[in-house]
Chain A
């Protein structure tokens, strides 16, 4: 059977643009049909913005790569129309075990909050995620949405001409030129767009290598995240075992710095390593093997005029914590509604600068967390190894040491504390729904709260009155009224009211809170809506 990552899903097809007399102008061009680029394109097309995706390849990614998708990513995916398919296909897990040397030191439970549509995490090969996105693009196309993917289209030149972006593309039929109002570069860690524009990329390169293997096996390991520090089968290094769909297991083995990468990738080197880990009696087959060297770094700015960088092209983190693809999805979630308002002339261009500020803040948080995980997993000095081992020894017997064990701090959505789009917090409410935070989900009867926050700004009035909608300078927020007496679970009150009897929230199109107070006031909500669209 041909696997999905071996099938050309968007083969090269000659476009009329290639024989046009003058370069054809597109509204938005996205470079890169990975998870971030496709999510951006779907989000734009769903809002009616014309978008063209260019990719030098024709297939989804080979190998599992980003395997761990967070609740926030699934919530964003719900809005993009693919969330339920991802959850159905993915492997859900809540338990993790930590091993040190030859013994288990403790286990943990993610203890996800109840009443959310989506689980805390699912494991899913990146190619399945991309495949669902491609299927969604195809169904949008069939419905007449303004979206197109061109495979076999390699961008070889990009320049910002001020009024537009000029793009040169190489194909098997030769080169052609396009122009675009806006360009979103989602072309990955090695971003050619970044190089073509001569932009910086500074940060820390870690002197380490990881062998990443997708192994197909019938084994009765439980659906848990197993992490080893200094195991007998990989002395002085670490290892990770995690289950994926289709009987595929993901194994990450730390190799250290001075290694021969090509030699380490050969089956005759890989198989004995895996046998040492899994035991001689386990039969397995290698689906994909890669050697990974990671970096923690970011671009100084994610916005360069009409060119916007999102995902790995803008920032990279170590793999511990699942903060790569998950943060990339948060990038596009943050960017697309802003770009739509700017394109429609309903917000000033400066709204896009808030993309830069908010997502740089997010990237810094991810870099900090993943750098700390890396420093724990790979101690950089004798002293740091002594403390690391002391933490692990203590963690076996004493609960206090367990929060110090850092095998990756798993991705949580970013709270945009202090963003210029927030209005001051005017409610003595729960911290989890303060201005800047992503709205927590709540089960409401057969449905979920977040399902109601789609397609623009929302005024959420809980035990309070508010008009059906509020429009300021062409931007409309529609009102959703809820009563806590209709929610027997009590989660709505716990997550949005705390000890206060009523609240009214202004919620951004990306489901982050812009403002909240104890009641509706037209002047104050109008001001908050203007502030959230960079007008004041």
Chain B
């Protein structure tokens, strides 16, 4: 299964605002921990190693 890089969020602005709201008022350490938990939750939800590898590749180099 290929990584979906086409727009997929029903409401992009709401989703982005929710991400920022989750970090509101957190220290750097708390935000880092939240991000780590979020990544792990989403990684598990995706499950597919092939998709994860593509996501890791694009995250490392957006132009790849």
Contact = CB atoms under 8 A, between A and B. Distances in A.
Contacts of A183: none
Interface string A394-427: 1000001100100000000000000000000000
Contacts of B33: 386, 389-390, 393
B43 to A, nearest CB: 9
A324 to B, nearest CB: 30
A62 interface: no
A239 to B, nearest CB: 23
Which of B33, B36, B41, B44 has its CB near the most chain A CB atoms (within 10 A)?
Answer: B36
Interface in B8-49: 32-33, 36-37, 39-41, 44
B32 A394 contact: no
A529 interface: no
A155 interface: no
Contacts of B37: 390, 393-394
Interface residues of A, number: 10
A54 B42 CA distance: 57
Q: What's the dominant secondary structure at chain A's contact region?
A: helix
Interface string A464-494: 0000000000000000000000000000000
A400 B37 CA distance: 12
Contacts, number: 24
B31 to A, nearest CB: 10
Contacts of A307: none
Nearest to A401: B40
A391 to B, nearest CB: 6
Contacts of A401: 40, 44
A369 B36 CA distance: 23
- The residue in B37, B39, B41 that gathers the most chain A C-beta atoms within 10 A of its C-beta is B37
A387 to B, nearest CB: 5
B38 to A, nearest CB: 9
A400 B36 contact: no
Interface string B38-64: 011100100000000000000000000
Contacts of B32: 386
Nearest to A391: B40
A387 B38 CA distance: 10
Contacts of A386: 32-33, 36
B60 to A, nearest CB: 13
B44 to A, nearest CB: 4
A387 B44 contact: no
Interface in A376-397: 386-387, 389-391, 393-394
B23 to A, nearest CB: 14
Nearest to B44: A400
Nearest to B37: A390
Nearest to A389: B33
A404 B41 CA distance: 12
B46 to A, nearest CB: 12
B25 to A, nearest CB: 19
Contacts of B41: 394, 400
Interface of B: 32-33, 36-37, 39-41, 44
| Pairs of residues from A and B, 5 with the lowest C-beta to C-beta distance, nearest first | A390-B36, A400-B44, A390-B37, A386-B36, A387-B36
19 contacts: A386-B32, A386-B33, A386-B36, A387-B36, A387-B39, A387-B40, A389-B36, A390-B33, A390-B37, A390-B39, A391-B40, A393-B33, A393-B37, A394-B37, A394-B40, A400-B41, A400-B44, A401-B40, A401-B44
Given A386-B32, A390-B39, A404-B40, 19 more contacts: A386-B33, A386-B36, A387-B36, A387-B39, A387-B40, A389-B33, A389-B36, A390-B33, A390-B36, A390-B37, A390-B40, A391-B40, A393-B33, A393-B37, A394-B37, A394-B40, A400-B41, A400-B44, A401-B44
